[in-house]
Amino acid sequence: MEGYKPGKECALCRGRCCREKGCSLSPEDMKKELKKSIRQKDIACLPENELSERILVMLKDPEGLYAIDHFSTESGPFFYLRMRHKCYTFVGIDAIGECVALTEEGCTLPEERRPMGGRFLESNEKMQCVQHYTREMMREDWKPYQKILSYIFEEYERKFQEDGTFDRCDAAYFDWMKSQREKNR
C-alpha cells in the first residue's frame, strides 16, 4: 500500500480522525472509482460534460461513499472530494461528521481503497498525527476539476437548502449521535 499503515495508537484512539471528518480523495482515487463504470473509454478522453455526468452519477448513488467539500483560499472556495459523513448527502456543508466507512471495528474499506488523505495520515504515539497529503498538494491535484465540482456543488447546495434536505440530515445526525451516546452509557 502506498502511504502509512495505521499504528498501534490508532486502535487505542478508535479513529478520532475518522469521527471528525471523512478523509480526502485525490483525483486518482476518484478515477479508480469511476473506472468501475467506464470500461470502454479512458477517463482522460472523456469530454468535460460527460466526465461531469459520470462524477454526478457516482456522487448521487444512495449507497455512495463520497461527497464534494471545499476549503477557503485567497481566491474563493476550493473544491475536492472526501468520504461522505453518516446521515449526510454528497454535498458537504458544515463539514464535521463521522465517515460513513467507520464502524466499531475500524475502517471498513480495504487499505488499497482508502483515499489518499487516509493513507497519508501518519499516526504517532503522541497522537500528533501528521497529514502528508497537504492542502498545497490538493490544490495542485484538484485544480483541473474546479469547474465541474463547483458547478455540481452550487446546483445541489441550493436545491438541498430549498427542499429541506440539509435540515433532515442534521436531524438524522443528531438522532444518530444521541443513540450512540445511549449505547455507550
18 near ligand SF4 (CB under 6 A) = yes
Among 43, 56, 93, 109, binds ligand SF4 (CB under 6 A): 109
Indicate whether 99 belongs to the interface with ligand SF4 (CB under 6 A): yes
Position among 1, 5, 16, 41 found at the interface with ligand SF4 (CB under 6 A): 16
Q: Which stretch binds ligand SF4 (CB under 6 A): 15-23, 43-51, 55-63, 168-176?
A: 15-23
Q: 65: which 3 cell numbers? A: 461513499
139 burial (CB, 10 Å; 0-12 / 13-18 / 19+) is: middle
What does the block give as the cell for 149?
Answer: 465540482
The minimum distance between CB 39 and ligand SF4, in angstroms, equals: 25
Place of cell 487499505: 111
Distance CA 21, CA 156 (A): 21
Task: Please list the alpha-helical segments (H only) found in 21-164.
Answer: 27-35, 48-60, 116-119, 135-142, 146-162
Give the binding site for ligand SF4 (CB under 6 A): 6, 9-10, 13, 15-18, 22-23, 83, 99, 101-102, 107, 109, 114-115, 118, 121, 123, 127, 129
